[in-house]
Amino acid sequence: MAVPAAFTLDALAAFFAAGGAPQDVAEAALARIAAWDDPALFIAQVPPEAVLARAAALAAEGPRGRPLFGVPFVVKDNIDAAGLPTTAACPEFAYTPMVDSPAVARLLAAGGLLLGKTNLDQFATGLNGTRSPHGTPRNALLADCIPGGSSSGSATAVGAGIAGFSLGTDTAGSGRVPAMANNIVGLKPSLGLVPTEGVVPACRSLDCVSVFALTVADAATVLEVIAGPTPTDRYARAAPAGWRAAPAPQPAWRLAVPLAEQLVFDTADDAALFDASLARAEALGGIVARVDISPFLAIAQRLYDGAWVAERTAALRGMLADRPEAIHPVTRSILEAGLPKLSIDAWDDFHAAAEARRLARVLFAGADVLVLPTAPGLPTLADLAAAPVAANSRLGTYTNFVNICDLAALAVPAGFRGDGRPAGITLVGPAFTEARLAGLGAALHAAAGVGLGALGGTPPSARAAPVADEVPLLAIGAHMAGLPLNPQMLRHGGRFVAAAETAPHYRLHDLGGRPGLVRVGAGGVAVAGEVWAFPAASIGAFLTEIPPPLGFGRVTLADGSAPLGFLCEAAGAEGMPDISATGGWRAYLTTKDHA
């Protein structure tokens, strides 16, 4: 039985279910490393015999429900993995941790198969991937293009098919730009969602552990594994109750897009690919509104010209003072720029950041997702060498403000220019909206027809069906997407699955601003609604918020299934207007609006 070409979670799960062994996958991964033959990819590898021994141990244990069972992965070399040196691409900085960082420990506990530590822009300072004494990892698609940074090796290992997923870090775009460069998915979580203990800091207050994967669903699964605070992480915070990262589709999307004059691209092809992505989003139910993002572009300028430069300097002041010659020249110049910064000026930056966060809340009060180019375009290695600082800064045009504004982001492939260079879009939302971003991102990735990294293949659509710990719930009123009580569903972790219609066994009544669905013995009609996937653990708490005469019961759908749904006691509907002829609550509201 052949090992899958793409190490996606679904493909490997099917391989194992059919009798394949983790040892087969481990051997394939090691063979791919050898065939790829890039000395700049890894800084430290797990010895092959140790990889095979781990695979054998996994095979002996069996899956045990572990979501990452037997999946090869790599880790950026600023994240601790016990027994492997952490260098942050600076050999003189190296130390060997005795324990795994929380993120790595959780991946291993979930059955992951660690291959090694990958190269990066030194001390995670840069977006291009060329600032390392170990060389520049080869772009998975085009050898003459930059791999993106700072998580260069983490992204190229996934794009080349060596790893099923990887960990990077993201402070200013390091988990998004390399995803675009290698035609893969980059998920930058909300601040504090994943512990940054055991991570060499860049800007500790803004740093995130990020995820690279071939598909949105895989990135979301990995994030759910590594998310959750630890008691000793000063910047960690717990996600709201019911939080999930799994793709949560919606029937409609309110999309914020920058004003035309705020969009900059390297070529007309880059612009056309962004426009094509917007067209796909509109075809998926997106309604585009142009918004002014100048406040966010302005705060982005402060990232490398203010308090956060000094924060980078503070993290490495010992190296800068005692061994400056050990630091990459470009990185050293950035760190030295933090030395003369004044604390009184830092307060200006902090107040500006607070204002930018306030403006982000205003923006997202009227939008579900902010849609941005991941970068204006992908430079070649020669382009970068000709203008190392300017080209790097341009890569961060649409990424630098996201962490400062406490936002989540998901980068997905958007297509290829005529010269073969990849382009990408980034979906941005408020903190802890990873599921929403994944819902739209998975659909856009599938619609783009771009393949998986350098491997070809077909990106899957969003997995909308309920999963093991979810139950289907039919909404027929104000809890439906976009209506006033829908935030209640979202707060409890509900996610839209599909529009639906009941079997013709029901009557619908207006109970005074909310609908009542009553099953009848005769004279029933089909009523329109929506099926949502709801965490089983949240159903009880949600039910307590539903006032009588409404409650939950089994509702028969037109396809014969019978999910839980909102039902009304017959006595509660007596004397209330029968609105069955409209076919559903949305149609009834439209009728009322035009009455």
Q: Which residues are catalytic?
A: 76, 150, 174
**Spatial distance between the Cα atoms of 422 and 413, rounded to a whole number of angstroms:** 7
* Angle (nearest 5°) at CA 257 between 253 and 263: 155
**Spatial distance between the Cα atoms of 118 and 214, rounded to a whole number of angstroms:** 17
Q: How many helices (H) and strands (E) does the chain have?
A: 20, 18
Nearest to 126 by CA among 160, 170, 163, 76: 170
Nearest to 186 by CA among 428, 547, 417, 12: 428
546-554: long-range pairs with CB below 8 Å, 24+: 548/572, 549/511, 549/516, 549/573, 550/511, 550/514, 550/516, 552/473
Mode of pairing for the β-strands spanning 165-170 and 208-213: antiparallel
Mode of pairing for the β-strands spanning 369-373 and 422-430: antiparallel
**Spatial distance between the Cα atoms of 11 and 3, rounded to a whole number of angstroms:** 9
Hey, how many other C-beta atoms are within 10 angstroms of the C-beta on 277?
23
**Which residues are bridge partners to 567 per DSSP?**
551
Give the count of alpha carbons within 13 A of 351, CB side only: 6
Rg (CA), the chain: 25
Amino acid at 218: D
- 181, 146 contact by CB (below 8 A): yes
Residues 6+ apart with CB under 8 A from 334: 125, 304, 309, 312
What residue ranges in 453-524 does DSSP mark as E strands?
A: 470-475, 495-501, 506-510, 515-519
**Spatial distance between the Cα atoms of 413 and 427, rounded to a whole number of angstroms:** 11
**Spatial distance between the Cα atoms of 483 and 250, rounded to a whole number of angstroms:** 12
**Spatial distance between the Cα atoms of 234 and 222, rounded to a whole number of angstroms:** 23
Residues 6+ apart with CB under 8 A from 417: 267, 269, 270, 273, 377, 423
**Spatial distance between the Cα atoms of 367 and 60, rounded to a whole number of angstroms:** 49
**Spatial distance between the Cα atoms of 396 and 149, rounded to a whole number of angstroms:** 10
**Which phi and psi angles does 185 have, rounded to 5°?**
-95, 135
Q: What is the DSSP letter of 377?
A: -
> Is the backbone of residue 16 left (phi > 0), alpha (psi -120 to 50) or beta?
alpha
**Spatial distance between the Cα atoms of 470 and 564, rounded to a whole number of angstroms:** 12
